Amino acid sequence: MQAADFTSDAPGKLVSIPEGVAAFVPDPLPPRFTLDTPTANLLAETRGAVGELAGVGRLLPNPHLLINPFLRREAISSSRIEGTYATAEELSLFEAEDSKPPSKPDIREVANYVRAMKYGLGRLADLPICSRFIRELHERLMEGVRGQEEHPGEFRTVQNAIGKRGDPIEKARFVPPPPAEMQRGMNKLEKYIAEGNNLHIIIRTAMIHYQFETIHPFRDGNGRLGRLLASLLFCEHKLLPEPLLYLSSFFDRNNDEYRDRLLAVSQRGEWLEWVSFFLRAVQEQSRDAIARAGRLLALWERWRRETQSARSSALLPRLVDALFSTPALTIPKAAKIMGVTYAAAQRNVLKLVEAGILRPASDATYNKVYVADDVIKIVAMESA
């Protein structure tokens, strides 16, 4: 990080640290800037797209038909930004075989993102987003994965840096504030999250995301946690009736611009450019969610018709619904979902195999996993 890259418009200050380089300490939120006409127009368009998605959410016959598929897509995309790769099928198989170690470490990291998000959604019922909330999420995000030795759930007490793993701090792309300044920054960020201002929640979330990533309060996992928090802020402020809006796919497709926009705020105070980029992310992902929701709902309706014939078990539609929540399952899990014996569950699963809804994921004879390929394809497809 070069001190010369930080202009007089930078929303913060450079401080010397014992490592012999400068670190950047951001000013507290909110920054001083006014929306220009293009950004205000973009905000109006984005609110319209979010409103359309909200309408889809209100009409859902079962919210989990979309919530869990969208959450898995978010977990895969957010982790991929950090160089962690797992496919939708790998994640589903791991969740189906939860007593079996993952085939590669990356899968557990992605599964932890799903786990942390679900925990956060439940925790919002009794705790607002605050430092304690954030630490609890981090603990679940980092449990049992790479970086778990970096004190999950605790703010860092050492200097960190953003750059290529293994490089010395002198080669870092960005150096966040030292620990004492970091703690003060988190205290002020917590206050801003609680109090807010008169700006729209989408714009406030853009600012909070920048501030969190710039403060970088943990030794590892800051990128994933910051993106997870953005979705939870939308939920906390009831932007949508259900948690259907996630931004990591957009950030992943535009990864270089995403990182450059964040850095440009620190170096040159380019808040409007960052906010515009964030608004584009919200708008594009809202429209993607609407299209993806249409595909999932059409698939659900088709499967329900196919499994509600006179010859079908009355429990089959319940199993079909569960496939959208967990698109891979074993016979014991199917038995639990349907509330029937192993033998009855096996008969019903085989009916779905015959209908082309499920396929065996392997030739195993014990604890065989069955996969709903059509659900996984909709989750994994690049564009809906």
Q: What percent of the chain has pLDDT over 90?
A: 73
Residues 372 and 283 both lie in one domain: no
Split at pLDDT 50, 70, 90, the class of 312 is low
Residues 130 and 277 both lie in one domain: yes
Q: What range defines the domain where residue 226 resides?
A: 3-292
Whether 300 is covered by a domain: the verdict is no
The model's pLDDT over 224-241, given as tens digits with 9 standing for 90+, comes to: 999 999 999 999 999 988
So what's the pLDDT on residue 54?
Answer: 92
Identify the CA nearest to 330 among candidates 364, 369, 366.
369
Which one of 292, 326, 361 terminates a domain?
292
Domain count, the chain: 2
Whether 283 is covered by a domain: the verdict is yes
Q: Letter for the amino acid at 105? A: P
Instruction: Please check the confidence at residue 354 and state whether its pLDDT lies above 70.
Output: yes
Residues 286 and 316 both lie in one domain: no
Residue range 321-348: mean pLDDT, rounded? 91
Tell me which of 18-32, 138-152, 180-194, 256-270 is least confident.
Answer: 138-152
The model's pLDDT over 66-111, given as tens digits with 9 standing for 90+, comes to: 888 999 999 999 999 998 889 999 998 888 877 677 768 899 999 9
Residues 255 and 357 both lie in one domain: no
Residues 275 and 311 both lie in one domain: no
DSSP state of 126: T
Handedness of CA 286, 243, 241, 322 (dihedral sign): positive
Instruction: Please check the confidence at residue 311 and state whether its pLDDT lies above 60.
Output: no
Residue with tokens 């999250």: 193
Q: CA–CA separation, 342 vs 379, rounded Å?
A: 29
Q: What percent of the chain has pLDDT over 70?
A: 95
* Contact between 202 and 43 (Cβ < 8 Å): yes
Q: Mutual orientation of helices 271-306 and 201-215 as an angle, nearest 10°?
A: 110
Residues 94 and 68 both lie in one domain: yes
Whether 301 is covered by a domain: the verdict is no
So what's the pLDDT on residue 99?
Answer: 62
What is the CATH number for 338?
Answer: 1.10.10.10
Split at pLDDT 50, 70, 90, the class of 129 is very high
Residues 44 and 138 both lie in one domain: yes
* Contact between 109 and 84 (Cβ < 8 Å): yes
Residue range 176-181: mean pLDDT, rounded? 97
Split at pLDDT 50, 70, 90, the class of 146 is low
Whether 298 is covered by a domain: the verdict is no
Split at pLDDT 50, 70, 90, the class of 147 is low
Tell me which of 61-65, 177-181, 321-325 is least confident.
Answer: 61-65
So what's the pLDDT on residue 150?
Answer: 65
Give strand ranges (E) for the chain.
Answer: 12-16, 22-26, 328-330, 359-360, 369-371
- Chain mean pLDDT for the chain: 91
Residue range 107-129: mean pLDDT, rounded? 94
